Structure 1
Amino acid sequence: MESLAADVPALTGMADWLLDQIALRDAHAQQLRAVLEPDITDHLRDRRTDGYLLGVTVPALDAQRTAHLNQARETVRAYTAAAHSGREREAQQLLDAFPIPARSLKTSGPAAAWRRNSATAQDAVEALAAQRAATTAENSADYFADPDLLHAETSYLAAREGQLHLMHDALGRLAYPAPAPVTCPRSSPRSRPRRPSAVSSRFRHPRRAAQVLDGLISYQLQQPVPAHRRATTGAETDLLTTARDALGHTVAGAPLDEEHIRARLQEALARSAAPAGPGRVAPTAHDEAHAQALAAGSTTPGVHL
């Protein structure tokens, strides 16, 4: 179909449809879809609630998540075409590029805080639970009739649950950052916020997280607001704006001063290599405590601090 579509563009849609149908019964393709697709629970709920009412305008999906959704579909199709045409190496490279998160058995504190205050996050968790119950029910049409489809659906749900947890955990860390320990010096790396690594590991890049948040905010602000979420839109927008503002410091942060870092490193190396004597600077209490902790924690034979 791909080769024919190159000569007959009208067949491109048919080729995509065939790839989508094959992907529905491929567990790895569904896991990849679970990782790449953005959360559009708010849009789906608006369509389900007001989409069938005459004269009611349903908000359009924002441009940011629309683009991410199209990227996800194209990637899943590329994997499916490679996996089912003998290009196993190419298919495996796609799977390796987007690791599948394990299903979370315990909700983290930041994720729980985000779900308590975000109506969309609550809807996402409830919708996933309802989908899981419908899929695994013994009276489901796929329970006995189509084992491959059932396996692919359950694989998607498990990966999607893990992905939602990672997303909610990252957003919760942005909206409700943990205070720095009072016992750590201000210059200690442990006293600095760890938002960049937390966000990057869950959204793959802070800029993508910024795009997601910008899209969620613009979607909430579309007018007219659907009647069923007028009571929650204000709080939802404020929560998303708080997370976006916190992320802004990460995305638009000042670049590292390489010369300053190099000078500090050379100074530290020179101080550690200086011979003992009257002119040597006495170590600070923090340095002594750190050395004692290292000495007490060293269990490697033959190593003396």
Structure 2
Amino acid sequence: MGWKNQTTISAFLLLGLFEGSENQQLLFWLFLFMYLVTVIGNLLIIIAVASNTHLHTPMYFFLANLSFADINFISTTVPKMLVNIQTQNNSISYSDCLTQLYFFIMFGTVDEFLLATMAYDRYVAICYPLHYRMVMSPQHCFLLISLTWVVNVLHSLLHTLLMNELVFCTKNEIPHFFCDLNPLLKLSCSDIFINELMILTIGGLAGLTPFFCIIISYVYIVLAIIRIPSAEGKQKAFSTCSSHLSVVSLFFGTVFGVYFSPSSHHSAHSDIIASVMYTVVIPMMNPFIYTLRNRDMKAALRRLVRATITVQ
């Protein structure tokens, strides 16, 4: 991916999580551990879903796609940070910075749309159980996934191309551990009105559309659960949504705090903490959230582990 260089700066400096060297090795091992747990956990979900015919349903199909997106999402930022810590070289080239920005936005918004798709799946399963197989047919699921990826590839490209039009004069220190929209906008010495407008409008539309789809889906889900006569039926219906609700609350809570307020209201420290939550912590927690409270997934993982041991 080539970028038209509008700037006198050829590289940026990523200052990382905390300035100073005393905590760097601790951060390296901590984030390496979190990265490996995230990749292995989400990869196990993908393999379990692909290898177990009982999990070849829309819910687990979307979950496997979410795990794939999470692996790529965390791989966009954390490996570069780990390399910088070990080499004591915090520089990232201009083109690499914009490339990282592109994939970060893309996989982040793909996560949002997948969470909305999973909410829609639960809505159909609980509110229209007799029509579930027809509504959530393989063709329909494939269409939802295709739209998710196509829309977010274009959305990410828009923000990245607009960023490429800005001029960066002398300041090149990014108080962050990756190239993100707000820190980069603060470094630009050109007018950023169009960029901020696109973040609040197009970016807001890309973020709020799946969020409102989730809210609407759960309003109907709650109404349907209330009408279930037995307490056991209500508990079973709610248990299928509890994991998804936990992830939605964590993810959207931090994303909205970072991106949907004016850049003048941001502090580098608060942005970094929120970014660590939704770029590292939440992708790491997803495999645990979706497996510890899901009997089918736990059974599939046990069978996968037994099969692996038997082969060895």
Q: Same fold (TM over 0.5)?
A: no
* TM-score (normalizing by structure 2): 0.27
Q: Which has the higher contact order (CA 8 A, sep 6+)?
A: 2
Q: As a proportion of its length, which structure holds more helix?
A: 2
Task: Specify the structure having the higher radius of gyration (Cα).
Answer: 1
